[in-house]
C-alpha cells in the first residue's frame, strides 16, 4: 500500500526540454516508476535518440518535438499528444536556458529569449495541458524553478528574474486550478552537473566556491532530482499545492 503512493503505472508524463540534462534524467526517473513518457525538445534528432535510449532500457516513450517558446506549436503539440497518445497526467515544465553577461551590458535579444524560454513556455504549456486536465478533474504540473528563484549571482540577473517568475506562476497556477483537482508545484534545483553548467563544472575556482557555499559540499547529480519529481507526480502529494521544493544541498538554508 505504501509504495502505491509513488506508483506511476498507467500515467502519461510530458517533460519539456527532455532530450538531455535534467529533463532527460527526470523523464527517465518517471519512467522507472512506471510512467509512459513523452520526450520533447526543438531538435528532433536529439529527441528521437533519447526516446530510443529509453526504449532500449525497457521503458515506454514517445517523441514530440516542438518549440516551447511558440504558443501555437505548444498548443498543437499538447493537443496532438492528447489525441494520439493519451491524456497527459503529468506535465514537467523543464525547458530552460542560461546566458551570462554583466547586467549593464546584457543584450536585449538575450533578455527576450530568456523570458520566452524560461517563463513564457511554462505559461504556454501549463495552460494548454490544464485545459485538458481541468475537464478530467485531475492532473500534476511540476515546474522547474531554481535556487535563483530566491537568490542572485553576478551576471545572471535576467535568469534570476525568470526563475523568480516561475516560483510565483507556480503559486498562481495552484491558486486558480487546485479547485479543479490539479496539483501544481515546483522543484528548485541547486547547482547540478549538466550541459548547461559544464563551463562552471570545469572552472576550478567556481567549483571551490560552490563546495564551500553549499552545506553538502558538492555539486548535485541529476539523478538526485528524481525522488522529488516522483513525489510530486504521484498520489503522495495529493494535498501539496503551490509549493517550491528546493533540492540544493542546503544552499538556500545557509548564509
Q: Which sequence positions are flagged as catalytic?
A: 159
Per-residue CA distances from 235 to 5, 89, 183, 232 (Å): 5, 12, 10, 8
Its sign, for the CA torsion 190, 192, 196, 202, is: positive
List helix spans (H) across the chain.
21-32, 44-56, 71-84, 108-115, 121-136, 157-177, 198-201, 204-213, 226-233
**For residues 9 and 137, what is the distance between their CA atoms, to the nearest angstrom?**
19
Q: How far apart are CA 77 and CA 64, in angstroms?
A: 7
Question: What's the distance, CA 30 to chain centroid?
Answer: 12
Q: Rg of the chain over CA atoms, in angstroms? A: 17
Core vs surface per residue 154-186: b (16+ CB within 10 A) or e: eebbbbbbbbbbbbebbbebbeebeeeebbbbb
Amino acid at each position: 500500500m505504501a509504495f502505491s503512493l509513488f506508483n506511476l503505472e498507467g500515467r502519461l508524463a510530458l517533460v519539456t526540454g527532455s532530450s538531455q540534462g535534467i529533463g532527460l534524467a527526470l523523464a527517465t526517473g518517471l519512467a522507472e516508476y512506471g510512467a509512459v513518457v513523452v520526450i520533447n525538445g526543438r531538435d528532433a534528432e536529439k529527441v528521437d535518440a533519447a526516446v530510443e535510449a529509453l526504449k532500449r532500457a525497457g521503458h515506454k516513450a514517445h517523441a514530440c518535438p516542438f518549440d516551447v517558446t511558440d504558443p501555437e506549436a505548444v498548443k498543437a503539440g499538447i493537443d496532438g499528444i492528447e489525441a494520439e497518445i493519451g491524456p497527459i497526467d503529468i506535465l514537467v515544465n523543464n525547458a530552460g536556458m542560461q546566458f551570462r553577461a554583466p547586467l549593464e551590458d546584457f543584450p536585449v535579444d538575450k533578455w527576450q529569449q530568456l523570458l520566452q524560454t524560461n517563463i513564457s513556455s511554462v505559461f504556454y504549456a501549463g495552460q494548454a495541458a490544464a485545459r485538458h486536465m481541468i475537464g478530467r478533474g485531475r492532473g500534476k504540473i511540476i515546474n522547474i524553478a531554481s535556487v535563483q528563484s530566491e537568490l542572485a549571482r553576478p551576471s545572471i540577473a535576467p535568469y534570476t528574474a525568470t526563475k523568480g517568475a516561475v516560483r510565483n506562476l507556480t503559486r498562481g497556477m495552484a491558486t486558480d486550478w487546485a479547485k479543479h483537482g490539479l496539483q501544481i508545484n515546483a522543484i528548485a534545483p541547486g547547482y547540478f552537473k549538466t550541459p548547461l553548467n559544464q563551463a562552471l563544472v570545469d572552472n576550478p575556482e567556481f567549483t571551490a566556491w560552490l563546495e564551500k557555499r553549499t552545506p553538502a559540499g558538492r555539486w548535485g547529480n541529476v539523478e538526485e532530482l528524481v525522488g522529488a519529481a516522483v513525489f510530486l507526480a504521484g498520489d503522495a502529494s495529493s494535498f501539496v499545492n503551490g509549493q517550491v521544493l528546493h533540492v540544493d544541498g542546503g544552499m538556500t538554508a545557509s548564509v
